[in-house]
Amino acid sequence: MSQEIQLNPNLDPEKYARIFREVGRVHIPEILTPESANCIYEALTSEVPWQTNFNDDENGHTLHQDQIEAMTAVQRDLLTTHINQKAQHDFQYVFNAFSLSDARKQGIHQELFINQFLDFVNSEDYLAFMRAVTGFEEASFADSQCTLYRPGHFLTDHLDDVGGKNRLVAMVMNFTPNWRPDWGGILQFIDEDEHITQGITPCFNALNILKIPQKHSVSYVVPHAEGGRYAITGWLRKGTPPQI
């Protein structure tokens, strides 16, 4: 694939900046050119080496596909039970992921087209657009991970304000065509009374930006959901950018 990832040139950042200033989050449809979005979707569905991520005793845990395939049905059921039990009272998540930032640091899988996305979100064009929308002139770089939510996957409520990360906003760029809201996988925003104030259905070629800290979650994907909920998530950060 030789397609260069590009922002939609017709976007008006001030239009979305007004919304962001008012509510601390904004949904931007048609964020990329159609050609860029289609190439990313093709990469997400064909070349990404997905791993399974979940929380275990306050630490993130990753299982590679060959590890899961080596497990017996009983072992997989026990793992699912363990994950779900922890979700009853603690922060928990389970979904497929591939960290573009970690892969770049480790120098692995760099032949994949999808790695261009990390360069794209760290380009001056993208960073300038994000500064204009969010008002965070100190934003200096972004990190990224590909995510795939399948039936049974979820992300419980959290704030994203991890100490020392210097995160300014969270970014969720969706690449999910033909998704139904009753399949779950909804990006939900939660107020101080534990009410859901807004839910955003996964769609195709759209960016959701939310100021940190802000309580949000991704709802449980139901067993009969067709296909997967594809997105590339990350955080706009301040400070010294890493070597990418």
- Global pTM reads 0.95
CATH class of segment(s) 21-46+92-238: mainly beta
Domain ranges of the chain: 21-46+92-238
> Can you give the chain as a three-state secondary structure string?
CCCCCCECCCCCHHHHHHHHHHHCEEEEECCECHHHHHHHHHHHHHCCCCEEEEEECCEEEEEEHHHHHHCCHHHHHHHHHHHHHHHCCCCCEEEEEEEHHHHHHHCCCCCCHHHHHHHHHCCHHHHHHHHHHHCCCCEEEEEEEEEEECCCCEEEEECCCCCCCCEEEEEEEEECCCCCHHHCCCEEEECCCCCEEEEECCCEEEEEEEECCCCEEECCCCCCCCCCEEEEEEEEEECCCCCC
Question: Per-residue confidence of the chain (244 residues) as pLDDT tens digits?
Answer: 557 999 999 999 999 999 999 999 999 999 999 999 999 999 999 999 999 999 987 678 999 999 999 999 999 999 999 999 999 999 999 999 999 999 999 999 999 999 999 999 999 999 999 999 999 999 999 999 999 999 999 999 999 988 889 999 999 999 999 999 999 999 999 999 999 999 999 999 999 999 999 999 999 999 999 999 999 999 999 999 887 6
